[in-house]
Amino acid sequence: MMRVTVCFYSYFKDLAGCASATQPVACGSTLEDLFSALVVRFPKLGVMRKATLMAVGVDYQSRSYVLREGDEVSLFPPVQGG
């Protein structure tokens, strides 16, 4: 097992009830696996499964991205700057 830090932005903070969390995941887990684990822990995130954007560090990543120890993952809804 390893642990990754997850940060929530925008109304995802409300859905999760916190701005960040540490989540244990099995080695070899993907971002999709992480999201599924987070939905168990924070069920309100489930409704946003298809619309969630995911980043590791400051780069967007696909759901097939394989997590590494120490990764900082960010989850957020579609962006709307300007």
Residues found near another protein in the complex (CB under 8 A):
7, 9-11, 53, 55, 57-60, 74, 76-77, 79-82
Q: Which is nearer to another protein, 37 or 56 (CB)?
A: 56
CB of 71 to another protein, least distance (A): 14
User: Based on the number of CB atoms within 10 Å of its own CB, is 7 exposed (0-12), middle (13-18) or buried (19 or more)?
Assistant: middle
Q: Report how far residue 68's alpha carbon sits from residue 63's, in angstroms, rounded to the nearest whole number.
A: 14
Q: Which is nearer to another protein, 1 or 58 (CB)?
A: 58
